[in-house]
Amino acid sequence: MSVPRILIIAGSDSGGGAGIQADIKTVTMMGGHAMTAITAITAQNTLGVDAVMAVPAGMVLKQIDAVVSDIGVDAVKIGMIGSAEVAEAVAERLEGLDVPIVFDPVMVASSGAVLADARTIRVFDRLLKLAALATPNTPELAALAGMEVRDEAERDRAVEEVMDRTGCRALLAKGGHLPHSESDEISDVLYDSEYNERHWSGLRIDTVHNHGTGCTLASAIAVGLGRGERLADAVDIARDFVRTAMKAAPGLGGGHGPMGHWAARGGAMNLNQVTVGALNYGDSIRFYRALGLRQIVDAPPRYARFEAPGGATFSIHVEETPSTRSDTLIYFEVAELDALAERLSTDGIGFLSMPEDKPWLWREARLLDPAGNRICLYRAGENRRFPPWRIAG
């Protein structure tokens, strides 16, 4: 599998939470190769932006030309653009580049600092026309559409206005800033060129450590598109990546802190979970804790899950009836689980069970390899490391 080459056109965040820094972390953890064209330099931390210096348009173009001419590009992510001159120059240069472009129309930082003036925002239409996907949050969508967005009906009208005016092929309207219900559920909606909708919902993550969520999401989607994934699948995987990184935030700084990119990993298939059989629950718990693993699920007398420093997880399971065969169960987390299971089944590979939702919030399919080893293909997202019953502390 080739490594997707992702060109990131965005500003630098000296605090490392958003911008180019978040983009590089995301692309790396998603299995891509990150290249950059820096549009602006900022002096900022978790409390706010102290200063912004735009990079001249000519220098931005030289960065783009340098990597395109030598390394090549499979997808482009555009974030903070810096100035109207840079926006115009970038749009003109990208018109000749036939790869998917993800445009995150950054206007305001998490701290409230304005990162794009009115003139720059007016030029965004050229970039939106080039984009395979735009990823505005609610305030950004309102600014692009020139109307208020206070509910789902107004969001639909704003999306239609932006897509009709600019020719943008798809738009992901992020719901984090939209007034939400008492259940605190957030809905993100993907609109295609025919205004078909694909919805994702999840409970709001209660944290102030959310700096760089938009940058991270757009970069993760760009990796998926650069790898050749369908747009909806790329968004699906990217959302899981962002939510896991938010829940793993290290808690740095006194304001809107950075996320835990180091603890999230995304891709088409990942070996990140193994379950082994156990004879005695207490003895196994003490042994693996002594090895340095952190216990994150405690379900005596049969099941426990541990977390390794790199983010992989490992479980023990005490069988009711000891088996003569190996109780080891190897897990591969698969982005397109149902599609893969259907393809393998069509190719003649037998399954013990086809994909189904489990009470522990994973979707799983199980099969045996030729030697009889048990394999689980699954999709868990954030629930692998951050289930609702994760041990606190």
Query: CB-based contacts of 281: which residues, under 8 Å, 6+ apart?
Result: 300, 301, 302, 304, 316, 318
- Contact between residue 332 and residue 270 where contact means Cβ atoms under 8 Å apart: yes
What sign does the dihedral 76-82-83-89 (CA atoms) show?
negative
Residue 190 has a pLDDT of: 97
Query: CB-based contacts of 196: which residues, under 8 Å, 6+ apart?
Result: none
Q: How confident is the model at residue 237 (pLDDT cuts 50, 70, 90)?
A: very high
Instruction: Give the integer Cα–Cα distance in Å for 331 and 323.
Output: 20
Question: Which phi and psi (to 5°) does residue 12 adopt?
Answer: -90, 140
Task: With CA atoms as reference, report the closest residue to 190 among 239, 243, 252, 257.
Answer: 239
Collapsing DSSP to helix, strand or coil, 354 comes out as: strand
Amino acid occupying residue 157: R
Q: Which of 138-152, 154-168, 354-368 has the lowest mean pLDDT?
A: 138-152
- Contact between residue 330 and residue 374 where contact means Cβ atoms under 8 Å apart: yes
Residue 168 has a pLDDT of: 95
Q: Which two tokens stand for residue 327?
A: 């109780």
Task: With CA atoms as reference, report the closest residue to 330 among 358, 300, 369, 362.
Answer: 369
Residue for token pair 């309207």: 173
User: From the DSSP assignment, how many helices (H) and strands (E) are in the chain?
Assistant: 10, 17
Query: CB-based contacts of 39: which residues, under 8 Å, 6+ apart?
Result: 9, 10, 11, 54, 55, 60, 80, 81, 82, 83, 86, 90
Instruction: Give the integer Cα–Cα distance in Å for 262 and 26.
Output: 9
Instruction: Give the integer Cα–Cα distance in Å for 210 and 251.
Output: 10
Q: Please write the tens of the pLDDT for every residue from 33-89.
A: 999 999 999 999 999 999 999 999 999 999 999 999 999 999 999 999 988 899 999
Q: Which of 16-20, 253-257, 283-287, 318-322 has the lowest mean pLDDT?
A: 318-322
Residue 282 has a pLDDT of: 93
Q: Please write the tens of the pLDDT for every residue from 280-312.
A: 899 999 999 887 889 999 999 999 999 987 788
Cis check for the bond before 301: say yes or no (omega within 30 of 0).
yes
Q: How confident is the model at residue 322 (pLDDT cuts 50, 70, 90)?
A: low
Q: How far are the Cα atoms of 208, 266, 340 from residue 26, in angstroms, in the given order?
A: 20, 9, 25
Q: How confident is the model at residue 113 (pLDDT cuts 50, 70, 90)?
A: low
Task: With CA atoms as reference, report the closest residue to 244 among 333, 356, 343.
Answer: 333
Global pTM? 0.84
Q: How confident is the model at residue 114 (pLDDT cuts 50, 70, 90)?
A: low
Residue 122 has a pLDDT of: 80
State the distance between the two ends of the chain, measured CA to CA, in whole angstroms.
39
Q: How many CB atoms within 10 Å of residue 166?
A: 19
What DSSP assignment string belongs to 233-246?
HHHHHHHHHHHHHH
Q: How confident is the model at residue 323 (pLDDT cuts 50, 70, 90)?
A: low
Q: How far are the Cα atoms of 148, 185, 188, 260, 306 from residue 178, in angstroms, in the given order?
A: 11, 10, 10, 24, 36
